Amino acid sequence: MAKILTITNQKGGVGKTTTCVNLAASLAVTKKRVLLIDMDPQGNATMGSGVDKHTLEGSVYELLTDQASAVETRISNCPAGYDLIGSNGDLTAAEVELLQMPRREFRLKMALQPIIEEYEYVLIDNPPSLNLLTVNALAASSGVIIPMQCEYYALEGISALVGTINKINQRLNPELKIEGILRTMFDPRMSLTKDVSDHLLEYFGEKVYRTVIPRNVRLAEAPSHGLPALLYDKNSRGAVAYLALAGELIRRSRQAKNEVLQEA
């Protein structure tokens, strides 16, 4: 059964898209069947996967508005090594159209049903705001990965996001939970980084991934080449960190599955 993970944070510039693309590529390298869904009208995850958002024949917009199926909109084995349902500026119009549709919060979940069993991991990239697109992603997911920088304002923002996730859990998706907190753009030389990191560990405990994503030039350069860091420079610190994150995610998933089996 697919593990569907939304990667989101209401604060911009924290590494959501970088995490989505590089984690998808790292999971694919470990031979996992992976689908990435780009729910951001900016289409950065699409471009970062090596696909031109301007030439998409089918996108998330057509998927959500019943103009095309998941089979018709997905791109199998895109240049980054996983399957992709991309997006572009057309998706901006979807929000207005979704308001008029029945079960508007569940459009993505319903649309994915025909293909979901083909994958082990589905990763969803989101815009940096809580809108109907993000709500669709959360309603379709079992877990949320929250990338965040270790800075003061990030701590304030994460409390609001946790509140949002709790509301979605209560009203739309009782399976939804925080899968993990990912510390991005990590610079251990800064005392504030350590202070915020300690606060996260104190509050969220084991939800905080042991893997941290460092500030890394190659990681920042890779999107301009339409590649994940793993394919741009596999030996870079950023690529190695996301491979480690993929390993940690797989181990956690395996452990959770074993616990469920033991309880049964």
pLDDT digit string (tens) for 193-238?
A: 888 899 899 999 999 999 999 999 999 999 999 999 999 999 999 9
pLDDT higher than 70, residue 96:
yes
Quote the percentage of the chain above a pLDDT of 70: 99
Contact partners, residue 163, CB within 8 Å, separation at least 6: none
Order of strands across the sheet with 143-149? 83-85, 34-38, 121-125, 3-7, 143-149, 177-186, 208-214
Q: What CA–CA distance (Å, rounded) separates 3 from 142?
A: 7
**Cβ atoms of 30 and 246 closer than 8 Å:** yes
- Confidence (pLDDT) at 194: 86
Over residues 104-108, mean pLDDT: 97
The region of weakest confidence among 181-190, 204-213, 244-253 is: 181-190
Question: How many domains does the chain contain in total?
Answer: 1
The overall average pLDDT reported for the chain is 93
CATH no. for residue 128?
A: 3.40.50.300
- Confidence (pLDDT) at 264: 63
> Phi, psi (5° rounding) for residue 234?
-65, -15
Domain limits for position 171: 3-263
